[in-house]
Structures are given as C-alpha cells and as structure tokens.
Amino acid sequence: MTSNFKSGFVSIIGRPNVGKSTFLNAVIGKKVAITSPKPQTTRNRILGIKSKENYQMVFVDTPGIHKAQHELGRLLDKTAIASIRGMDIVLFMVDGPRSYAEDQIIKLFKDLDTPVYLVINKIDTLKSKIDIDKIILSYMDQYAFKGVLPISAKNQTHIDRLLDELAPQLPNGYPLFGNDEISDQSDFQIMAELIREKVLYKTQEEVPHAVAVVIEHAEMNGTLYEVHASIIVERNSQKQIIIGKNGQMLKEIGTEARIDINRVLETKIHLNLWVKVKKNWRNKVTDMRSFGYDDKTNL
C-alpha cells in the first residue's frame, strides 16, 4: 500500500424516494440496502464499502428526511441529520427541481466544513440536457456545491465517473475495513431487512410503514440455516392483510424473502414466519429499540 492511499466516509442524504439505496447498491455492485417505492424504506444507517487499489470509500446510506408523524419518523430524521457530521464528503441526492423539502435539507449544510456534492439522480427519466440544466440552476443559487454529478442509479449511468470525482477528495489514510467487506450489517440484519422489503412491495396504504421484522432465532442445521422471524405490526387488521386469505400472502412473502436471502448470503435457509401485533410500537422508544431502531448512530 502506498502513502497515496485514500479512505473516508461519504454520506448520502436527501428526501425519501430519490434513489439513495438504489445508488448504494449500484456503487457496491451487490445488494446491501433494500429498496421499494415506499417512502422511508431505509430505517437504519447502512454502510456500503467500496474498495479499490488506491482508495476505500465507506458510503453511509440514511433514511430520507421528511416531516415526521411519529417517534420512529423523528428518530429516522435524527439519524439522517447526524450522518452528515464527521463525514469526509456529503452527497445531496435529488431527482427533480428544488422544493421546500430540499430547501430544509440545504439549511443543514450552511455551517458544514465538508465538501457537499449535488447528485442529480434518475436522469434516465429526463428528456434532454436542458431539463438537467434547469434542475441544476434551481439549486446552485442556494449553496456553493463542490460539484454537480448527474447519474442514473437504476441504469448505473455515470457511477464510475462519480467515484473518480470523489476519490481525490478523500483524506490519505489506511483502509477502514477489509478488502472483502462490503457492508457492516450482520446476517440477522440482512435477513430482517430482506423480509421487510417483501412486505413493502406486497402491501399498500398504512401497512408498510407499521411493519418491523425481528429475527427470533437462527442456527445451522446441517447444511441448512433454520431461521425463525416475526413480522411486527400495530393492528390486527394489518396482521390479517399480511397473512392473507388462507395464508397466501404470508407464504408469498416467505418464498420471495427466502430466495433473496439465499442469493445475498450465499446460503440455504428454511424460513419460518409469524405475524405479531404490538400496538403503537412506532411511538414507544422501548419497542423501537427492541426492534433494532436506536437513537445511537455509532459513527
């Protein structure tokens, strides 16, 4: 390793559904963060580690910043806001012209002594360069961004160009993680998130936001990983939706989650799912902590 090796932390911040987790997966080249069309799919701070010959970038995926409606939402906003402190680079991701939501996030940068890049995602949905330029202009008079990086995380357009731009901005240092590490998540965390992802895709209205997943027990049984997990909801009506008629919905969730877990963890699992009701858990700090949502960012 030469003295020119660079390493550091890169925070990804923005409102919900701008594609932060899709971007992280594209950068790492493997699924390290779940995605869905539902707002605030990401609930925990997730690290994605990109290691190259001359640098190691540790990306920090954060919950989308929004107007919180409950204690869980306030915790997620707190986690996202805290993630910009102590970073080496901040990526402010947007997918359209500036609005009130973006203005509120920009205010967080005012006293920040860290380079902030404006990342315009979903350029594949824009008709022309003129549309991209209009978006850029709507932001440039609000903050002195270090640079502007148009990308399409979905199509992996300009991802390498973005990495080439960021690498020189990192401080000199040693790798923070092993070269073969791509995330800081445990197997249990990955399993729980992949199960929750399937619930998000298969349910509507209030159900996705009220769901948590807890891995109750997991052990190797020969060559098979035996996993017992609970899907937590707030009301009996939500429980019935997830179970579905004759248990069909729960069966589909389990099947799809098992396939994804097998692929991501490169193992074979037998997945047992239960659905449990914990009333109003999103407003109870003790419940949130027991389900893995803590007010400690640990970064």
DSSP string, 125-146: G-SSHHHHHHHHHHHHTT---S
- Per the model's pLDDT, the better-predicted residue between 223 and 93 turns out to be 93
Inter-residue contact 172 to 5 (CB < 8 Å): yes
Instruction: Please state the pTM of the whole predicted model.
Output: 0.85
* Residue 246 included in any domain: yes
**Structural domains in the chain (count):** 2
Is there a binding annotation on residue 65? yes
Inter-residue contact 113 to 131 (CB < 8 Å): no
Is there a binding annotation on residue 14? yes
Is there a binding annotation on residue 18? yes
* Residue 299 included in any domain: no
**Residue 237 pLDDT greater than 60, yes or no:** yes
Assess whether 278 and 196 both reside in one domain. Answer: yes
CA distance 279 to 288: 12
Is there a binding annotation on residue 171? no
- Predicted local confidence at residue 287, as pLDDT: 86
Assess whether 160 and 264 both reside in one domain. Answer: no
**Residue 298 pLDDT greater than 50, yes or no:** no
Sheet holding 6-13, edge to edge: 46-51, 55-61, 6-13, 89-94, 116-120, 147-150
Is there a binding annotation on residue 276? no
- Predicted local confidence at residue 194, as pLDDT: 94
Is there a binding annotation on residue 22? no
Is there a binding annotation on residue 79? no
Is there a binding annotation on residue 61? yes
pLDDT tens track for 54-100: 999 999 987 766 455 556 656 656 666 676 788 999 999 999 898 88
CA distance 232 to 119: 35
CATH number of the structural domain spanning residue 251: 3.30.300.20
Is there a binding annotation on residue 63? yes
- Predicted local confidence at residue 174, as pLDDT: 94
Tell me the average pLDDT of the chain.
Answer: 88
| Per-residue pLDDT band at 208 (split at 50, 70, 90) | confident
Is there a binding annotation on residue 186? no
Is there a binding annotation on residue 237? no
Residue numbers of the domain that contains 109: 6-169
Is there a binding annotation on residue 121? yes
- Predicted local confidence at residue 110, as pLDDT: 85
Assess whether 18 and 141 both reside in one domain. Answer: yes
Q: Strand pairing partners for 274?
A: 230
- Predicted local confidence at residue 209, as pLDDT: 80
- Predicted local confidence at residue 134, as pLDDT: 92
Is there a binding annotation on residue 86? no
